[in-house]
Amino acid sequence: MPKTKKKQQDSSSESDSGPEDRNPPASKKPKGSSGPGEAKSASGDSGGDGATTWTLEGLRQVRINEFRGRKMVDIREFYEKSGETLPGKKGISLSIKQWKKLLEVAEEVTRAVEN
């Protein structure tokens, strides 16, 4: 009988959870300092790594990160492990162009949700 290759894990909503990440990306824990600015009213922090963070609810956060020299708006669910807050799989990183487009349609989306 021929050898069979290992099956790849099916892509499902269950695989999108945070703590089961095989190799979660390294994350620097944000410091408690708060920076100036109106947009930071939802508890914005600026950590030592230069990332600005806003907490949406619980462990869901919005951060401004830099990836390969590009600024990204990262909306992500985090999890705690050994006293550290680490990013999970559930989330999205938007380029500045995508973020601006989202803001353009935000009012229309809000109207659709309310109807």
Q: Could you say which architecture CATH assigns to the domain 32-114?
A: Roll (2.30)
Distance in angstroms between the alpha carbons of the first and the last residue of the chain? 59
Mind listing the pLDDT tens digit for each residue in 26-58? Answer: 655 554 433 333 333 344 555 545 568 899 999
Q: E strand or H helix at 103, and its extent?
A: helix 96-114
Mind listing the pLDDT tens digit for each residue in 49-89? Answer: 556 889 999 999 999 999 899 999 999 999 999 999 899 99
Q: Compute CA 109 distance to the chain's CA centroid, rounded to the nearest angstrom.
A: 21
Looking at the predicted structure, is the pLDDT value of residue 16 above 60?
no
